[in-house]
Amino acid sequence: MPDRQLRFLSSDDVVRALPMPEAVEAMKRAYARLSAGEAVVPPRPQFPLADPPGHALVMPAYVPAEGRLGVKIVTLVPANRDRGLPLIQALVVLVDTTTASPLAVMDGAALTAIRTGAGSGAATDLLARADASRAAIFGAGVQGRTQLEAVCAVRPIARARVFDPDAAAARAFADAMSRRLGVAVEPAASAAEAMAGADVVCTATTASEPVFDDADVAPGTHINAVGAYRPPSREVPAATVCRATVVVDARASALEEAGDIVVPIREGLIGPDHIAAEIGEIVAGTKPGRRSEEEITFFKSVGVAVQDVAAAGVALANAERLGLGTEVGL
């Protein structure tokens, strides 16, 4: 029987093997395949965890054209912050469907952070004004960092502000990202201060209610919202959603899971047809992107497993080329 080798990639390996510009392009391809019906993505089961409370998700996807199957198991436990552990922990398993052999196991938290940021980077590249140069980030955690990194990868961002209820976390975010990106990043004392002059807004929080006021959203703004992934929770005001061109990663999951969209629908403010497009349709050119300088565009993502498969494929290929990770015989 032939030897079978499985490559394990740590968090550091994933970060080195999945540079943001490559991740952004991988997300565009993944979104296009999803919208074209070229990926099999079953509904992801979600279930609550007890003692301490949290949530777990299982996210499978199959991309026949790439010969890849992937499954991610992800947990979110707020009490981990007090334990010195990450809020989000995950593992991704990547399988070669030609041989049905497992190829890799990798840290899913790092991969999730990068691919989620890259998804917003893809949306920003397709929907934000070409001259967008000022960003506002809500949430000073790991996800907020990759959101800013991705936006800077596709637009000439010269200044950014970050708002977080934890002022110390916002200051640390600003210092670290200023050094990392070579961009002037400042902590904001309020949501309104963060929004002032922002061309691109990213929300990556655990909030259950909107994190900024609709009145602070200027014409021409592009918004990426990635934090809320359950129907009761939302980060963006309903009034903003109503006056924005709404683009999602996947219609079915957005209408089921995205509180930013589900809540306004339940309140009778919009209908399901308010979703203008899936981002993959814009990648493919079957739906338009931004149509005017004054248009407010809103990309809502709850995350889809095809992103994980695409990101894991890039990470594995680069890891093999760079000699990263640890090989284990099966």
Of the residues 28, 72, 287, 300, only one is catalytic, namely 72
Biggest CA–CA distance in the chain, Å, is 66
The tokens for 119 are: 């998804």
Q: How far apart are CA 60 and CA 83, in angstroms?
A: 29
Q: What is the 3 state secondary structure string of the chain?
A: CCCCEEEEECHHHHHHHCCHHHHHHHHHHHHHHHHCCCCECCCCCEEEECCCCEEEEEEEEEEHHHCEEEEEEEEECCCHHHHCCCCEEEEEEEEECCCCEEEEEEEHHHHHHHHHHHHHHHHHHHHCCCCCCEEEEECCCHHHHHHHHHHHHHCCCCEEEEECCCHHHHHHHHHHHHHHHCCEEEECCCHHHHHCCCCEEEECCCCCCCCCCHHHCCCCCEEEECCCCCCCCCCCCHHHHHHCEEEECCHHHHHHHCHHHHHHHHCCCCCHHHEEEEHHHHHHCCCCCCCCCCCCEEEECCCCHHHHHHHHHHHHHHHHHHCCCEEEEC
**Dihedral-angle region of residue 145 (phi above 0 means left; psi in -120 to 50 means alpha; beta otherwise):** alpha
**Closest of 204, 210, 197, 198 to residue 145, by C-alpha:** 204
Question: Residue 158: beta bridge partners?
Answer: none
Q: Is residue 72 among the annotated active site residues?
A: yes
Please identify every residue annotated as catalytic. 72
